Amino acid sequence: MSTWKTAMKELSPGVYAYIQADGTWFVSNAGLIVGPEEALVVDSLANAKMVQAFIAHIEQVTDRPVKWLINSHGHGDHTWTNHFFPQAKTICHRLCREMTLAEMQIGPRTYEAMFPHLSFEGAKGTPQDITFEKQLTLYQGDREIRLVYNGPAHTKGDIFIYLPAEGIVFCQDLLFYRCTPLALAGYVSGWIETLDLLASLDAKVYVPGHGPVTDKSGVLESREYLAYIRDESRQRFAAGMEAFAAAQDIPLGKFAAWADPERIVPNVERLYSEFSGKEPGAPLNVMAILPHMKRMAIKLHSQAK
């Protein structure tokens, strides 16, 4: 069970993390950075109800207009309510915009069948206005806001948002804390490198995409999980074990306590794709993987009882 609540948390004067309780599928975190004249938001949320609650929290702390919206990556729970910020110009990595366009072909409703308990009311893809490749720096008065891309990780187009003077990083889905990382659309080796980069920053506060705010220790825990499943999967891959069998065979140990441990299934599939020499983020057979993941979730749930 989640031990953190939905809340707007002030990290430094004018810098807020909007954290949602549970942090499970499509329940993500966002950010707000208030400048002298206008405000910037980090990520929209999955549905109308969630983003309206977020906007109500924004209005409690500032009346400055939201003129900028950053999308950390192309997943729907970070992009599907961009249109609730009509005054904002949206910014993301080039590959995030490509993912947003691809997701628009599928549409949010497709996910209703897989996640019937979730609402996608008000969810809609909106292509972003501005893209970049490696790094983009924004200024709000004297405040420096660095948008950094370090290669494929959780998806092919994730960025993190670093405020060097405040020592705050909005990692978004580059960091899952007390929630199981999901590598389905990403690249585990690159993700581990990006976590090393995040840990090397002189930062005090790390905002994950899912889960409560943490410090460097949270980054190292996430890295530990990814390195562990990589090493365990590699042995089983070398021994000729099928990916789903490997996912069931790998002991989760302490990581079983994190939300959504069944993500071991897509994560091992992603690793097998990497071990067989496929390119980062190469398409996987999602329609075959998700039923396996569901079986795993039922199995883990019954074990936890």
Residues that bind Zn ion (CB under 5 A): 75, 173
Q: Is there a contact between 91 and 129 (Cβ–Cβ < 8 Å)?
A: yes
DSSP state of 259: B
Tell me how far, at minimum, the Cβ of 71 lies from Zn ion, in Å.
11
Tell me how far, at minimum, the Cβ of 229 lies from Zn ion, in Å.
17
Tell me how far, at minimum, the Cβ of 221 lies from Zn ion, in Å.
18
Pairing of strands 7-12, 15-19: antiparallel
Contacts of 142 by beta carbon, 8 Å cutoff, 6+ apart = none
- Considering Cα of 72, then 75, then 77, then 83, what sign does the dihedral take? positive
Nearer to Zn ion, 140 or 180 (CB): 180
Tell me how far, at minimum, the Cβ of 73 lies from Zn ion, in Å.
6
Nearer to Zn ion, 35 or 74 (CB): 74
Looking at the chain, list the stretches that DSSP marks H as alpha helix, in order from N- to C-terminal side.
48-61, 76-79, 94-106, 110-114, 188-200, 216-238, 243-249, 264-275, 286-304
Q: What is the dihedral of CA 284, 287, 290, 292, to 10 degrees?
A: -90
Place of tokens 């020499």: 277
Nearer to Zn ion, 9 or 75 (CB): 75
Which residues are bridge partners to 160 per DSSP? Answer: 148
Pairing of strands 39-42, 30-34: antiparallel
Nearer to Zn ion, 77 or 166 (CB): 77
**How many separate helices (H) and strands (E) can be counted in the chain?**
9, 12
Tell me how far, at minimum, the Cβ of 173 lies from Zn ion, in Å.
4
Nearer to Zn ion, 173 or 221 (CB): 173
Concatenating the DSSP letter of every residue in 5-55 gives: --EEEEEETTEEEEE-SS--TT---EEEEE-SS-EEEE---SSHHHHHHHH
Nearer to Zn ion, 14 or 108 (CB): 108
Nearer to Zn ion, 75 or 178 (CB): 75
Tell me how far, at minimum, the Cβ of 238 lies from Zn ion, in Å.
30
Tell me how far, at minimum, the Cβ of 123 lies from Zn ion, in Å.
14
